[in-house]
Amino acid sequence: MIQVKSLQNLGPMLEKGRIWPGIENIFFESSVKKKFESPEERAAFKFKYLDWYAKNHSGCFFVALDQDQKVQGYICGTPNTSLHPELFEMHPWFQKTSHLFTSFPAHLHINCAEKARGLGLGSTLLNVFENTIHSQGIIGVHLVTSPDSRNVGFYEKNGYKFSQTVEWKTASLLFMGKTL
């Protein structure tokens, strides 16, 4: 049985140290980037895609735990991207998508453990995140992926009907949005 809990409510369990390393393992296992020049570069990469959200939005950072309290997936994000200049500094390509933040203000990142994929867990996590931000008055949510990634089908299935490809340096990014 899977339980979904917010980091905010996991306070004492986080202190015991098993849950956060579990989240970090899934983060690095799921990341396309595998090589880092230095421990500092690795830490900065983790900060901008994971730690920042735990630090600033623990109320909408959700973790899926199995019966042994092992982390099987997580979702994190910010309800209103435009309120955070720090995010624009860390992700310079936001300048290409910021006009879309009016309709889709929230930004998210989601990853599941390899063995837990394809079982509906990601859809459950998306639902919890979307319901939480919607109850705060947020009208839309977006994420950025790559146009040829398998996860595009996952987001489409979950109602992310808006999509726009954005060129940034040598890469193509796919912005996907859902109205809540």
Which residues contribute to the site for ligand COA (CB under 6 A)?
A: 30, 110-112, 117-123, 143, 145, 149-151, 153-154
Distance of closest approach, residue 158 Cβ to ligand COA, in angstroms: 7
Give residue number: closest CB to ligand COA. 122
Nearer residue to ligand COA within complex by CB, 11 or 149:
149
Q: Exposed/middle/buried for 80, CB within 10 Å: 0-12, 13-18, 19+?
A: middle
Nearer residue to ligand COA within complex by CB, 11 or 120:
120
Report helix, strand or coil for 31: coil
Closest CA to 173 of 54, 106, 91, 75: 91
Question: And the tokens for 94?
Answer: 């936001």
Nearer residue to ligand COA within complex by CB, 16 or 157:
157
Neighbouring CB atoms inside 10 A of 135's CB total 9
Nearer residue to ligand COA within complex by CB, 89 or 156:
156
Distance of closest approach, residue 133 Cβ to ligand COA, in angstroms: 17
Ramachandran category for residue 127: left, alpha or beta (phi over 0 → left; psi -120 to 50 → alpha): alpha
Nearer residue to ligand COA within complex by CB, 1 or 15:
1
Distance of closest approach, residue 12 Cβ to ligand COA, in angstroms: 27
Distance of closest approach, residue 121 Cβ to ligand COA, in angstroms: 4
Distance of closest approach, residue 11 Cβ to ligand COA, in angstroms: 25
Outline where the chain has alpha helix (H): 11-15, 19-30, 39-46, 52-56, 85-90, 94-97, 121-134, 151-157
